[in-house]
Chains A and B, each alone.
Chain A
Amino acid sequence: MIVGGISIRELPRKKYLLPGNSSCPGCPEALGLRYLGMALGDRVILVVPAGCSTVIEGLAPNYSMRFPIVNVPFASADAVASGVATAKEVLGEDAVVVVWAGDGATADIGFATLSGAAERGDNIIHICVDNEAYMNTGIQRSSLTPYGAWTTTTWTGKKERKKDVPLIMLMHKVPYVATASVGYPMDFIEKLRRAASIKGFKYIHLHAPCPTGWRFDPSLTVEVAKLAVETGMWILFEAINGKVKISPSSLPYRDRSRRKPIRDYIKIQGRFRALTDKELRKLESMVDDVWDTLIKFT
Chain B
Amino acid sequence: MKLVVMHLTGNYAVAWAVKLSRVKVVSAYPITPQTTIVEKISEFIESGMMDAKIVRVESEHSALATVFGAASSGVRAFTATSSHGLMYMYEMVWWSAGARVPIVMAIVTRTIGAPWNIWSDHSDFMSQRDTGWLMIFAEHNQEVLDSVIQLFRITEDPRVYLPGMIALDAFILSHTTEPVDVPDQSLVDSFLPSRRQPYTFKSGDPITMGNLPSNPRDNMKMRWDVHESLVAAKKVIMEVDREWGELTGRSYGGLIECYRCSDAKYFIIGVGAWVGDMREAVDMLRSEGYEVGLIKLRFVRPFPAEELAEVVRGGKGAIVFDRSVSAGSAGPLYLDTVAHLGALNVGVPVKNVIAGIAGVDVTYNDIAGVVRSFIEEIESKGVVSNYVEWYFG
A interface residue numbers (CB < 8 A to B): 42-45, 47, 54-55, 57-63, 65-73, 75-91, 93-96, 112-113, 115-116, 119-120, 122
Query: Given A82-B66, A87-B24, A87-B25 in contact, is the A63-B75 Cβ separation under 8 Å?
Result: no
Q: Which residues from A are CB-within-8-Å of B59? A: 112-113, 116
Least Cβ distance of B28 to chain A in Å? 12
How long is the Cα–Cα vector from A183 to B69 in the complex, in angstroms?
Answer: 32
Other-chain contact of A57, B52, B205, B211 (Cβ < 8 Å): B211
Query: Given A82-B69, A83-B65, A90-B24 in contact, is the A55-B212 Cβ separation under 8 Å?
Result: yes
For the complex, is B214 an interface residue (Cβ under 8 Å from A)?
Answer: yes
CB pair B73 A87 closer than 8 Å: yes
Residue of B nearest to A67 (CB): B206
Least Cβ distance of A82 to chain B in Å? 5
Q: How many interface residues does chain B have, given as a range?
A: 35 or more
CB pair A59 B211 closer than 8 Å: yes
How long is the Cα–Cα vector from A76 to B68 in the complex, in angstroms?
Answer: 10
Least Cβ distance of A201 to chain B in Å? 13
B interface residue numbers (CB < 8 A to A): 24-25, 27, 52-53, 55-59, 61-63, 65-75, 77, 91-92, 95, 201-214, 218
Least Cβ distance of B64 to chain A in Å? 8
Least Cβ distance of B220 to chain A in Å? 13
How long is the Cα–Cα vector from A67 to B27 in the complex, in angstroms?
Answer: 26
Q: Which residues from B are CB-within-8-Å of A78? A: 62
CB pair A115 B58 closer than 8 Å: yes
CB pair A62 B214 closer than 8 Å: yes
Q: Which residues from B are CB-within-8-Å of A47? A: 69
Q: Which residues from B are CB-within-8-Å of A85? A: 69
CB pair A65 B55 closer than 8 Å: no
Other-chain contact of A66, B27, B66, B206 (Cβ < 8 Å): B206
How long is the Cα–Cα vector from A61 to B202 in the complex, in angstroms?
Answer: 19
CB pair B203 A44 closer than 8 Å: yes
Provide a sorted-by-A list of 12 A–B residue pairs whose CB atoms are within 8 angstroms: A59-B213, A70-B209, A70-B210, A73-B65, A75-B61, A78-B62, A83-B67, A86-B55, A87-B74, A91-B75, A116-B58, A120-B56
**7 further A-B pairs in the complex, CB-CB below 8 A; given A68-B203, A73-B65, A86-B55:** A54-B211, A72-B95, A75-B61, A79-B69, A82-B69, A83-B27, A86-B66
Query: Given A57-B211, A63-B211, A75-B61 in contact, is the A82-B55 Cβ separation under 8 Å?
Result: yes
Query: Given A42-B203, A68-B205, A82-B69 in contact, is the A61-B61 Cβ separation under 8 Å?
Result: no
CB pair B211 A58 closer than 8 Å: yes
CB pair A69 B208 closer than 8 Å: yes
Least Cβ distance of A16 to chain B in Å? 8
